[in-house]
């Protein structure tokens, strides 16, 4: 059946009071942005505390629902038949038509759940439940009623001038509408973790910019393309990702020359955080985001994380901190970054990695070692910041370098 509309349900608890309009407006905007890439003509409207996508032309059901499933803030997508109010007799007919059109076989158990928000509709909810149920049983003899565990829950809502009939709810992304929490700077490598971390934080309402530390000629253009591709894949959910590519080679070489090798990774990560923070502040990002997970590698022990943390003032969000690798992998499958993440291109961290990195670094010791960089650090960081190449990554546009 061609549904006339999609009713968009969102978690209302989080958006009570004065914030409600702000969240709804952001959600409507994101739905519109997403539907621009879907064939057909749609109108997105807020009506009596509800959001509807009205379908004004032919459309492909799967394409529309798949698109809506990428929008943060939507908890359920309900394909709904919105009919005009021509009285109760007409409503009975329409519910039967609805069943006929939506289900191939009418041999399941069902329950009617009617809600009458508009009190000038003369039949109350209880009566509607009973009468519609009886009418459908009469019309389709193979149906039966199960009020506790029905196969199909048929909802009838008399709200505004129209009446909603629906029985399907498709699970949405959940989370908060994009942008309602501000913007964050994601440290995006070519690995499995950081794209997932970006996706998860964006799901809480953050727009995402990203920074990638590139070390040519030790890391190739293919490695860079892989990061661009990852940014593009997550942008399906996060919206356009402005990816900053920073040339990190000279900093890495200097660290390699001047600092104890077992501390390379920690010191390198401190420089990454400093530079990322600087770009974040320039681009109105209020936090940094990394894909770190406690204990995953030497640079992700509590002491190591504390050493990398101390060089920044912005909060660092690490949504994967308590995740097992397998659960991160599962998410990367779900958001379709996995296949790209596992492509075997070199990463700047792996090239300079020490045989025996410290696992429990002391901050004073690291600070001391870093003093060896004092003479060159400022110029190197400045040069790195100047190397910033911004690539706009958008799911609906291919980026080839
Ligand atoms: P990932 O799978 O995200 O690469 P990882 O398990 O390989 O993570 P590390 O290499 O220790 O872990 O990196 C930890 C985090 O540091 C990454 O999740 C990412 O946020 C950031 N990071 C590492 N390398 C880079 C890089 N070259 N450019 C930008 N960010 C990076
Ligand atoms: Mg990595």
Average pLDDT of 100-115?
A: 96
Residue 57 pLDDT > 60: yes
CA dist., res. 55 & res. 6, Å (int):
8
- Decide if pLDDT at 1 tops 80: no
pLDDT of 165? 97
Provide the CA 303 distance to its chain's centre, in angstroms. 30
Confidence check: pLDDT of 400 > 70: no
Q: What band does 297 get if pLDDT is binned at 50, 70 and 90?
A: confident
Of these ranges, 88-102, 287-301, 333-347, the one predicted with the greatest mean pLDDT is 88-102
Give the closest residue (by CA) to ligand 1 atom 10.
349
Mean per-residue pLDDT, 125-131? 96
Report which protein residue has its CA nearest ligand 1's atom 22: 189
Q: Burial level of 326, CB count in 10 A (0-12/13-18/19+)?
A: exposed
CA of 195 to the centre of ligand 1 (A): 10
pLDDT band, residue 339 (cuts 50/70/90): very high
Ligand nearest the Cα atom of residue 226: 1
Report pLDDT for 352. 72
Does the beta carbon of 212 lie inside 6 Å of ligand 1?
yes
CB 27 within 8 A of CB 73: yes
Residue 76 has pLDDT above 70, yes or no: yes
pLDDT the model gives residue 346: 74
Q: What is the pLDDT of residue 17?
A: 75
Q: Is 188 in the pocket of ligand 1 (CB under 6 A)?
A: yes
290 lines ligand 1 (CB under 6 A): yes
Q: How far is CA 315 from CA 9, 11, 147, 206, in A?
A: 32, 26, 50, 14
Sorting pLDDT into bands at 50, 70 and 90, what band is 379?
A: very high
Token reading at 136: 């459908």
**13 pLDDT more than 60:** no
Element (H or E) spanning 162, and its range?
Answer: strand 162-166
CA 156 to chain centre: 31
Quickly state the pLDDT bin for 51 (edges 50, 70, 90): very high
CA of 350 to the centre of ligand 2 (A): 8
Q: For tokens 């059901």, name the residue.
A: 61
pLDDT value at 12 more than 80? no
- For 4-18, 77-91, 108-122, 308-322, which range has the lowest pLDDT when averaged over its residues? 4-18
For domain 5-171, give its CATH number from 3.40.640.10, 3.30.200.20, 3.30.2130.30, 2.80.10.50.
3.30.2130.30
Q: What pLDDT sits at residue 104?
A: 94
Residue extents of the structural domains in the chain: 5-171, 183-393
Residue 173: which pLDDT band, with cuts at 50, 70 and 90? very high
Nearest to 80 by CA among 90, 94, 93: 94
**How would you label 239-277 residue by residue, b for 16+ Cβ within 10 Å and e otherwise?**
bbbbbbbbbbbbbbebbeebbbebbbbbbbbbbbbbbbb
**pLDDT value for 194:** 98
pLDDT, average across residues 26-48: 94
Distance CA 199, CA 191 (A): 14
Q: Which residues pair with 111 in a beta bridge?
A: 153
pLDDT, average across residues 30-35: 96
Q: Place 248 in a pLDDT band, splitting at 50, 70 and 90.
A: very high
The answer to which of 172-176, 241-245, 281-285, 350-354 has the lowest mean pLDDT is: 350-354
**Residue 157 Cβ < 6 Å to ligand 1:** no
The tokens describing 186, both together, are 């994601």
Report helix angle 363-370 to 302-309, nearest 10: 50
Q: Is the peptide bond prior to 349 cis by the omega test (within 30 degrees of 0)?
A: no
> d(Cα 76, Cα 8) in Å, to the nearest integer?
6
Query: pTM to 2 decimals?
Result: 0.94
Between the CA of 245 and the centroid of ligand 2 the distance, in Å, is: 15
Query: Does residue 15 surpass a pLDDT of 90?
Result: no
The domain 183-393 is classified under which CATH number: 3.90.550.10, 3.40.50.2000, 3.40.50.970, 3.40.50.620? 3.40.50.620
> What band does 345 get if pLDDT is binned at 50, 70 and 90?
confident
- Two tokens, residue 207: 């727009």
Distance between CA 116 and CA 160 in Å, rounded?
10
List the single range of 17-21, 199-203, 230-234, 323-327 with lowest mean pLDDT: 17-21
In three-state secondary structure terms, 44 is strand
Within a 10 A sphere around the Cβ of 13, how many other Cβ atoms? 6
User: Whose Cα sits closest to atom 23 in ligand 1?
Assistant: 189
| Nearest-CA residue for atom 2 of ligand 1 | 191
pLDDT level of residue 399 (50, 70, 90 thresholds):
low
d(CA 163, CA 122): 13
56: its two tokens? 């004004």
Could you give the dihedral angle defined by the CA atoms of residues 260, 266, 269 and 271, in that order, rounded to the nearest 10 degrees?
-50
Distance (angstroms) between ligand 2 centre and the Cα of 387 equals 21
The conformational region for residue 176 under phi > 0 = left, psi -120 to 50 = alpha, else beta, is: beta
299 lines ligand 1 (CB under 6 A): yes
Alpha carbon distance 26, 177 (integer Å)? 6
Q: Which residue has the tokens 């909060």?
A: 315
Distance between CA atoms of residues 145 and 110, nearest Å: 5
Alpha carbon 123 to chain centroid, angstroms:
42
Higher pLDDT, 21 or 304: 304
In sign, the C-alpha dihedral spanning 69, 321, 310, 249 is negative
Q: Say yes or no to pLDDT of 151 above 90.
A: yes
Q: Whole-number mean pLDDT of the chain?
A: 93
Q: What is the DSSP string of 265-324?
A: HHHHHHHHHHHHHHHHHHTT--EEE----TTSSGGGSHHHHHHHHTT--S-EE-TTTT--
Helices (H) and strands (E) in the chain, counts: 14, 15
The residue whose C-alpha atom lies closest to atom 1 belonging to ligand 1 is 191
Q: Looking at residues 70-81, what average pLDDT do you find?
A: 96
- Mean pLDDT on 298-311: 92
pLDDT score, position 351: 64
Beta carbons of 24 and 51 less than 8 angstroms apart: yes
């Amino acid at each position: 059946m061609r549904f006339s509309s999609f009713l968009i349900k969102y978690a209302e608890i989080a958006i009570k009071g004065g914030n409600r309009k702000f969240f709804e407006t952001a959600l409507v905007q994101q739905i519109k942005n997403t539907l621009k890439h879907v064939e057909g003509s749609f109108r997105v409207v807020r009506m009596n505390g509800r959001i509807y996508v009205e379908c004004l032309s032919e459309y492909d059901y799967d394409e529309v629902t798949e698109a809506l499933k990428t929008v943060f803030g939507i908890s359920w997508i309900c394909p709904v038949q919105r009919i005009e109010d021509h009285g109760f007799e007409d409503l009975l007919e329409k519910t039967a038509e609805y069943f006929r059109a939506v289900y191939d076989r009418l041999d399941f158990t069902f329950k009617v759940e009617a809600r009458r928000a508009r009190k000038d509709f003369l039949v109350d909810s209880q009566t509607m439940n009973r009468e519609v149920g009886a009418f459908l049983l009469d019309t389709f003899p193979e149906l039966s009623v199960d009020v506790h565990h029905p196969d199909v829950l048929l909802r009838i809502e008399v709200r505004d001038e129209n009446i909603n009939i629906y029985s399907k709810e498709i699970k949405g992304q959940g989370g908060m509408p994009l942008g309602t929490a501000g913007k964050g700077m994601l440290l995006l490598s070519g690995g499995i973790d950081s794209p997932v971390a970006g996706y998860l934080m964006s799901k809480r309402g953050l727009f995402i910019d990203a920074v990638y530390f590139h070390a040519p000629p030790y890391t190739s253009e293919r490695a860079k393309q892989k990061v661009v591709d990852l940014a593009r894949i997550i942008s399906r959910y996060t919206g356009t990702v402005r990816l900053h590519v920073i040339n990190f080679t000279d900093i890495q070489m200097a660290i390699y020359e001047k600092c104890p090798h077992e501390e390379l990774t920690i010191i390198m990560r401190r420089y990454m955080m400093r530079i990322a923070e600087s770009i974040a502040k320039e681009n109105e990002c209020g936090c940094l985001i990394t894909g770190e997970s406690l204990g995953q590698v030497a640079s992700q022990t509590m002491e190591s994380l504390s050493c990398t943390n101390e060089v920044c003032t912005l909060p660092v969000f690490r949504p994967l901190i308590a995740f097992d690798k397998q659960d991160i992998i599962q998410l990367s499958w779900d958001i379709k970054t996995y296949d790209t993440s596992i492509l075997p291109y070199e990463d700047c961290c792996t090239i300079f990695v020490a045989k025996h990195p410290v696992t429990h670094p002391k901050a004073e010791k690291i600070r001391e070692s870093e003093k060896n960089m004092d003479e060159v650090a400022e110029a190197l960081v400045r040069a790195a910041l100047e190397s910033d190449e911004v690539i706009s990554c958008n799911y609906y546009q291919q980026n080839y370098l």
